[in-house]
Amino acid sequence: MKVLIASRAALLATGLFVVIGAASGAGAAEPQTGIAMHGQPLRQGDFTAFPYVNPDAPKGGRLVLAEQGSFDSLNPLIVKGQYVEGIRDYVYESLMARAYDEPFTLYGLIAKTVETPEDRSYVEFQLDPRAKFSDGEPITPEDVLFSFALLRDHGRPNHRSYYKKVERAEKAGPNGVRFTFDSSGDREMPLIMGLMPVLPKHAIDPDRFEQTTFKPLIGSGPYTVDKVEPGKSITYVRDPDYWGADLAVNRGRFNFDKIRIDYYRDTGAMFEAFKSGLVQFRYEEDPTRWTESYDFPAVHDGEVVKDALPLGVPAGMSALVFNTRRPVFQDVRVRQALIALFDFDWINRTLYHGQYERTQSYFSRSALSSHGKPADARERELLAPYPDAVSPEIMDGSFSFPEGSQRGQNRQSRLAALKLLQQAGYTLKGGRLVDAKTGTPFTIEILAATRTQERLLLTYARALKQLGIQVRIRQVDSAQYQRRKQTFDFDMIQYYWPVSLSPGNEQSFRWGSDAAVTDGSFNYPGVTSQAVDAMIAALLEAKDEKSFVSSVRALDRVLLSGAYVVPLFHLPKQWVAYWRPLQRPKQTSLFGYLLDSWWIAPEGEASPEPSAP
């Protein structure tokens, strides 16, 4: 979700941090308060609050947010239906809580301590005896084990994929649970379990779990569901008896008495609602709107603040996605040709006021990117069994996606694209690109979910039509778009994969061969590559930072060489706008804004100075 907690990068990233004993082997594990992927966490033992919150933030007030689309379910943990925003963030809690000023660190939440040996063959959590659900029932090891089994058997595909690596789940003393892992060597698994949502065994019927529902859910989080208008809005109310209010990981957070999320059909209506004050916060991604449309009286009067916040995480991959399950995209030369036809310079200047930077890597804006860097010895070692998986120019770091033209002509790229298409068996005939053998026209359909997407796609489609490619842009409603996306029923779509500073198991769900044939996975291009699978395995097995970075860069090179997407662009900063008296902490996290750390200022209190736009 964009507006409740942080950017999508912060929500969907799953990297963590593990503290281990000095000696190796299972016997060396000791209970700790922090858990991380590489190295040591910043905080040892007790701490009072995170530096990116205001621990003295006042409680109270109501926050009204906006989302586009609709919803038909309150259950975010199943494939069926379009779930409402906020449930996972505010109602359900996990065993541990993330620190957003460290790349991949967790500290105790429901679990008071965690232990794992050097080989990470198991993880054991001891629960905080104070932890309870919103109905007053205590959280027990039985609830944790129930949640694990429920999500393994009935949850979303990513849960099923992760939790099948657990060989044994059992109680560990009166208030603990232990998960023992299989021999896959996945070093992130102790961390994945730390992020597992904990559900109430006494309030869930496993036989009905996979059905959509509007029945308010019971969790242990800081909010409960107050009111639901199906498909239109949901209101959360802060639980005055929330058990974890005084924990260090929660201090300065969850400050609003109520949070309401209203749903709108399109971005235009959402923006008008913000301008009129019906919505108090807006995360802006449209450079044209940011440049031209925030010229209304409330901005001039200082009632609406514009902020450009720094980011410390990779930009992620925003792209036009080829569905390689479709015969038309199974030849890599076809995909390379369509990538060459994307005129970034022209599109950026004419549609986006030149505000974007071209995305050159799946991990742009970070040290994990392979762009401009020759492969190191460890990368070459990892890639040696797959000599055809990476192109020479991507291996030596000299490759860049074409920037395009200043005038929208892009003649050089068109010639290169036509040559690739001819090599793939196509020819121009009567102004149309056709299969040279069968005469079948080259025809594709690109699905659009919003008018903003449609504008970009129409511009791109014009470039394709110059080479005789027949393109249909089809805008569908959010429910149909979601269904077709989940079942891979499309030729091309626009999609964004956020990235953390510690990519892990989620990479299997995005690019792994098994995910390519799993409905509901994020492997929208249908990547099935032994080299990709091997690089993902290598990054999961990495025991030190250097090996980890090398394995991620190697994965980046294989994905870039496969030409599975048309990489688009990213913003250099995070744009937000909000109405006073909404306030934020002075220090931002690595992920930019964290809305659960904001607050409503008491009457007469001044807001902090905004960042330069």
pLDDT tens column, 437-493: 999 999 999 999 888 889 899 999 999 999 999 999 999 988 899 999 999 999 999
pLDDT tens column, 539-576: 988 888 899 999 999 999 999 999 999 999 999 899 99
Question: Does residue 20 sit in the same domain as residue 151?
Answer: yes
Question: Does residue 321 sit in the same domain as residue 203?
Answer: no
pLDDT tens column, 42-97: 887 778 999 999 999 999 999 999 999 999 999 999 989 999 999 999 999 999 99
Q: Of 208, 226, 260, which residue is a domain's last?
A: 208
Question: Does residue 394 sit in the same domain as residue 543?
Answer: yes
| Top-confidence residue, 402 or 396 | 396
Mean per-residue pLDDT, 349-371: 93
Examine residue 79 and state whether it is found in any structural domain, yes or no. no
Question: Does residue 427 sit in the same domain as residue 550?
Answer: yes
Element containing residue 496 per DSSP (H, E): strand 492-497
pLDDT tens column, 247-259: 999 999 999 999 9
Please list, in sequence order, all residues whose beta carbon lies within 8 angstroms of the beta carbon of residue 272, skipping any fewer than 6 positions away: none
Alpha carbon dihedral 260, 265, 270, 273, in 10-degree steps, equals -70
pLDDT exceeds cutoff 80 at 6: no
Question: Does residue 322 sit in the same domain as residue 204?
Answer: no
Cα 158 to chain centroid distance, Å, stands at 13
> Tell me, what's the pLDDT at 18?
35
Question: Which residue range forms the structural domain that includes residue 442?
Answer: 317-399+411-570
Examine residue 287 and state whether it is found in any structural domain, yes or no. no
Question: Does residue 23 sit in the same domain as residue 146?
Answer: yes
Examine residue 262 and state whether it is found in any structural domain, yes or no. no
Examine residue 173 and state whether it is found in any structural domain, yes or no. yes
Question: Does residue 324 sit in the same domain as residue 455?
Answer: yes
H-state helical runs in 140-233:
141-154, 157-163, 189-194
Examine residue 590 and state whether it is found in any structural domain, yes or no. no
Counted domains in the chain: 2
Q: Token pair of 365, please? A: 């804006």
Q: Of 149, 184, 208, which residue is a domain's last?
A: 208
pLDDT tens column, 503-525: 988 999 999 999 999 999 999 99
Question: Does residue 527 sit in the same domain as residue 382?
Answer: yes
> Tell me, what's the pLDDT at 8?
34
Q: Of 570, 589, 605, which residue is a domain's last?
A: 570
CATH code assigned at 12: 3.40.190.10
Please list, in sequence order, all residues whose beta carbon lies within 8 angstroms of the beta carbon of residue 205, skipping any fewer than 6 positions away: none
Q: Which of 42-46, 160-164, 293-297 is predicted with the least confidence, judged by mean pLDDT?
A: 42-46
pLDDT exceeds cutoff 60 at 22: no
Q: Token pair of 155, please? A: 């949850």
Question: Does residue 377 sit in the same domain as residue 506?
Answer: yes
CA distances from residue 458 to 265, 316, 337, 415, 455 in whole angstroms, order as listed? 21, 23, 18, 21, 5
CATH code assigned at 481: 3.10.105.10
pLDDT band at 288 (very low <50, low <70, confident <90, very high): confident
Q: What percent of the chain has pLDDT over 90?
A: 76
Q: Which residues of 20-38 are buried (b: 16+ CB within 10 A; e: fewer)?
A: beeeeeeeebeebbbbbbb
Examine residue 390 and state whether it is found in any structural domain, yes or no. yes
pLDDT tens column, 328-356: 999 999 999 999 999 999 999 998 989 99
Question: Does residue 364 sit in the same domain as residue 491?
Answer: yes
Examine residue 70 and state whether it is found in any structural domain, yes or no. no
pLDDT tens column, 178-194: 999 998 878 889 989 99
Examine residue 21 and state whether it is found in any structural domain, yes or no. yes
